[in-house]
Amino acid sequence: MQISRRAHSAREEVDGLHTAMKNRADIEQAKGIIMALRGMNADDAFAVLSEQSQNRNIKVSEIAAAIVDSVAQPGHSDCSSQDIKRRSNCRSDE
């Protein structure tokens, strides 16, 4: 029984780490996209993501994923390059 609980706990930890790695990758990619489109540094790009997150009450990782998806699959997201430049209308699918 003890081994089963430890195995379950380890599986949950691994799943959490996978999620964290994906979220971090999305955030870093989104920062790069914002930096390229707006000509700003990494800190300012993260500030744009944070502002969007706070204004829309959506996690930074979800905003970032929407930005990455908009570049990866144009026309399949609510976030266009013009929206990123203006800091508006960038949201994830809820």
pLDDT tens track for 36-84: 999 999 999 999 999 999 999 999 999 999 999 988 876 655 565 555 5
pLDDT tier at 92 (50, 70, 90 boundaries)?
very low
Q: What is the pLDDT of residue 94?
A: 37
Full 3-state SS string of 36-78:
HHHCCCHHHHHHHHHHHHHHHCCCHHHHHHHHHHHHHCCCCCC
- Could you tell me which of 92, 47, 86, 34 has the C-alpha nearest to residue 65? 92
Task: Report domain extents, the chain.
Answer: 2-86
Tokens of 12: 């949950």
pTM over 0.75: no
Section 2-17 average pLDDT: 84
Q: What is the pLDDT of residue 81?
A: 55
